[in-house]
A and B are shown apart, each in its own frame.
Chain A
Amino acid sequence: MTNTNQIPNSNIGKEVVSPVLSVKDLTVSFRTNDGPVSAVNNMNFEIYPGDTVGVVGESGSGKSQTFLAIMGLLAQNGEATGSAILNIEGKDHELVGMDLNRLNKLRGSKMSMIFQDPMTSLNPYLKISTQMCEVLRLHQGMGKAAAQQKALKFLDLVRIPEAKARLNQYPHELSGGMRQRVMIAMSLLCEPALLIADEPTTALDVTVQAQVLRLLHDLKTDFNTAIVLITHDLGVVAGVCDRVQVMYGGRLAEIARVDDIFYNPQHPYTRGLLESTPRLNADGSSKHADLPTIKGQPPNLQNLPAGCAFAPRCDHATEHCQKEIPTLRYFNENHAKACFAEGFSQSTLLHGAD
């Protein structure tokens, strides 16, 4: 497939690893009866091969919509502008505004996505084998027998017991955790360069959560797939991610390596998030003091403040913050924040991550 959007001089060189996904000025807005709502504003970030990137933020922060836009899965009234370039084997594919036929050649094969609710994400009327083989026959032109064989191999890979029997079952015959494994197996069938997992463990019970996360972690090493893990669970982030992007009000608040997010957070919102994480004392009892919370409400996306979206809830907000939107600045190679405030020292955090 030829690509007209290829950027000249893109670094195909081996010494510089080029990002698998580069997002520039990505903006997502929805037309509603009450006027346009901008869910995502001017996102800029890159994701590198083999990286696991956690995307955290509260509901409505735009974390899911960013990646649904990249997959071309926005609701009918949604529109994405800006640029999201998927780099596959040195070729650049501009995903924003890509025509549906070309997009369908990439979705499910070069990039894939798993969703929050495994109970409803599989088609209840089709057997597991039909749904899995469909991907292989579509993208790799496999015959029925070969596709079955490969689907079986991947079900084994995600540690589904009695994989052969499962192939002939319908989704309702599988448990939630099992269905999410099927989703993961299905999304990996074509060994994609990018796997987006949108809250993959939220609907699962805690023991199954851990299994699914470990599975994702193991599979990353097997396939060198870049994984985007969208979640609001900081525990999940700490467990599996290499890097973290914190989102607030449709913008990136902070990007950092996972250790820096937990031990040296620089954005007041990130700090607030960490401080409001419940934790147990060494003896297993919870602290007596009330759990700190971030005061105020998440912003109304339809009516965002003129300045920083977090300013109304921020202890460090100045007049400057009310007037101007802070841009995301890198203050060292791996750490960026969108905040006018001076850097925070580690000791100012109420308690460090355990």
Chain B
Amino acid sequence: MVRYFLSRLLIAIPTLLAVITLSFFLVRAAPGNPFDSEKPLPPTIRANLDAKYGLDKPVFEQFTNYVGGLVKFSKEEGSWLPTVTLDFGPSYQYKDRTVTYFIQAGFPVSLKLGLMAIAIALVIGVGAGSLAALRQNTWMDYTVMGFSMTGITVPNFVVGPILQLIVISILSATAVQLVPITGWGDSWKQAIMPVFVLALPQIAYIARQTRGSMIEVLRSNYIRTARAKGVPERTMIIRHALKAALLPIVSYLGPAVAAITTGSVVVEKIFRIPGIGTHFVNGALNRDYTMVMGVVIFFGALIIIANLIVDVLYGLLDPRVRAA
């Protein structure tokens, strides 16, 4: 297991390198420049800026400089191992702040939002999906499947503004106080809307997945064996069916983390939440190269780690994988 874990960590390095390379050149391929503004800068100032940030050098040299500067090893007196620091460089837009500063400030907010969304997606999704499977082809099944189809097809940048609109225009001003439509951190109520919008497609997907796998498991031979043993229905579902039915959900958690992270970029912007996503969108709009790169690398690493955790979790849950 330890060996497997370490080899997976090693494989993560080339993956991250590919992510860095791709996003580096893609960002630079986009038209525009970090220092473009409505009023063009005088050429000398512009040349000075480019020289300061190394933008006057050929793109490939910029790339090697960037990658070279990412990881810094420093060795302190008396310590065995060198300390590793990640340096995403300065933000081109906020000249006195580093990208690391923004990630450090935004990540706790984004993490809280994402974790709440995943937790809610799991609870509601698994619950609704199991219910649909156990009451297959009844109105309950059709309702759950209908809602989840909507949840999957309607994107969050539509759901978010529509919900905001409903709260403001159709409901009264008190509704806005009960369910605030923007902001973060002043009251827990501010989390209701963004968490819901972020979780909605995940709820929908997890519900469909749970229903499908639950139906399959309930038809399996070992469930028939459990019935033949006289195991009561409820025990049968909890002890014999649920674990097998949830395994596909566990393996979906990796992609779910990715979906939630990318979803949060939009949702944070819609609900004015000071997370990483907001900085990422602003960075992209302003061609803030280092900001975009920093967030992409950070998210990439996050998703790789999430998938790794999921694989380990899967191994712990399925005895057949554990042995292999």
Contact = CB atoms under 8 A, between A and B. Distances in A.
Interface of A: 71-73, 100-101, 103-109, 112-113, 115, 117, 120-126, 134-135, 138-139, 170, 172-173, 183, 186-187
Contacts of B221: 115, 117, 120-121
Contacts of B224: 73, 115, 121
B81 interface: no
A108 B235 CA distance: 15
A172 B225 contact: no
Interface string B237-256: 00110011000000000000
25 contacts: A71-B228, A103-B230, A104-B232, A106-B230, A107-B228, A107-B229, A108-B231, A109-B230, A112-B229, A113-B228, A115-B228, A117-B221, A120-B221, A120-B222, A122-B225, A123-B222, A123-B226, A125-B243, A134-B229, A134-B231, A135-B230, A138-B232, A170-B320, A172-B320, A186-B229
A126 B323 contact: no
B318 interface: yes
B43 interface: no
A334 to B, nearest CB: 30
Contacts of A73: 224, 227-228
Interface in B210-236: 220-222, 224-233
Contact of B230 (A107, A121, A124): A107
B319 interface: yes
Contacts of B319: 124-125, 170, 172
Given A73-B224, A115-B221, A115-B224, A124 B320 contact: yes
Nearest to A110: B230
A126 B222 CA distance: 11
B230 A126 contact: no
A183 B225 contact: yes
Contact of B323 (A100, A106, A173): A173
A78 to B, nearest CB: 13
For A71, A103, A134, the residue with the greatest tally of chain B CB atoms inside 10 Å of its CB is A134
Interface of B: 220-222, 224-233, 239-240, 243-244, 317-320, 323
B228 A139 contact: no
Given A115-B221, A170-B319, A125 B244 contact: yes
A120 B217 CA distance: 11
Contact of B232 (A101, A124, A173): A101
Contacts, number: 75
9 closest A-B pairs by beta carbon, nearest first, are A108-B230, A107-B230, A108-B229, A120-B221, A170-B319, A104-B230, A123-B222, A113-B228, A121-B221
Given A170-B319, A172-B319, A172-B323, A124 B222 contact: yes
A72 B229 CA distance: 11
A121 B220 CA distance: 8
B183 to A, nearest CB: 45
Given A73-B224, A172-B319, A123 B230 contact: no
Contacts of B227: 72-73, 107
A229 B154 CA distance: 56
Nearest to B324: A172
B222 A122 contact: yes
A171 to B, nearest CB: 8
B323 to A, nearest CB: 7
A126 B229 contact: no
A187 B224 CA distance: 13
Contact of A125 (B228, B230, B318): B318
